[in-house]
Amino acid sequence: MELPIPDRISAGKALAEALESYSGRDDVIVLGLPRGGVPVAAEIARSLHAPLDVMLVRKLGIPGQPELAMGAIASGGVQVLNEDLVQRLGITGETIDAVVASEQRELERRERAYRGERPWPELADRCVILVDDGLATGATMRAAIDAVRAQKPACLVVAVPVAPPDTVSALEPLVDQVVCLFQPEPFMAIGQWYQDFSQTPDSEVKELLAEQQEG
């Protein structure tokens, strides 16, 4: 596969090949970051014969520039802030609290929508593969890493199709392995490296999770 990536399913299949060494292990679980990371994760889970679930994370966008992340929150009360960016832009604590409150409501809505009454999976002593459809600043993935680390996994792997080199380098010390197929520069946005980067609806996320549960 070459850039641009055709779509998320193609990305998942290519990543599954790169993660082949984890296939058949009974301790592996694949966690997709909703929404776009779930179709990628579903292909990986199928190929590795591993269970699929979701790691709920919300980016904390800067007011007026929502695509620019000043941090992220994740299930379990985890919050990560890009302190350098916050200080450089003079973002106040009140502004941060307001953004956190708004994103917390959306995170809880998605918890109910995607998980329902299904219990959170046991991650202790397991090999957890965190998957997204790409990384820019890596803020949401860092929040996901912190949330998983709190569960004491045996190993933690980050798998993404595309990310800038400096983001990959920043994540590598935090996990056991980062698998990233493409690290192009300059890097403006994840969508520029996809032919089809259409939004993944809630219905598709729920459908993919339901298929995995039935399987």
Tokens found for residue 198:
């259409």
pLDDT band at 214 (very low <50, low <70, confident <90, very high): low
Which range in 13-22, 99-108, 203-212 is most confidently predicted, on average pLDDT? 13-22
Query: Which strands sit side by side in the sheet containing 177-182, from one edge to the other?
Result: 52-54, 28-32, 127-131, 155-162, 177-182
Q: What is the distance between the alpha carbons of residues 106 and 145, in angstroms, rounded to a whole number?
A: 20
Task: Look up the domain containing 195 and give its range.
Answer: 8-56+120-214
Is it the case that residue 215 has pLDDT exceeding 70? no
Q: What percentage of the chain has pLDDT greater than the value 90?
A: 73
Token duo for residue 89: 């832009």
Asked which of 98, 114, 130 is the last residue of a domain, the reply is: 114
| Token representation of residue 152 | 């004491």
Question: Domain count of the chain?
Answer: 2
pLDDT at 26: 95
Here the contacts of 64-68 (C-beta below 8 Å, separation 24 or greater) are 67/189, 68/137
Closest among 23, 51, 203, 47 to 119, alpha carbons compared: 51
Q: How many residues does the chain have?
A: 215
Is 146 part of a structural domain of the chain? yes
155-162 vs 177-182, strand pairing mode: parallel
Residues 105 and 200 in one domain: no
pLDDT at 115 over 90: no
User: Domain with 179 in it: what CATH number?
Assistant: 3.40.50.2020
Helices (H) and strands (E) in the chain, counts: 7, 8
Q: Does 157 share its domain with 174?
A: yes
Q: Are residues 84 and 179 in the same domain?
A: no
Q: Can you tell me the distance from the alpha carbon of 160 to that of 182, in angstroms, rounded to the nearest whole number?
A: 9
Q: Which of 114, 136, 151 is the last residue of a domain?
A: 114
- Please provide the average confidence, as pLDDT, over all residues in the chain: 93
**What integer is the mean pLDDT of 130-157?**
93
Residue ending a domain, among 86, 114, 142, is 114
pLDDT tens-digit profile of 21-71?
999 899 999 999 989 999 999 999 999 999 999 999 888 999 888 878 898
Amino acid at 170: A
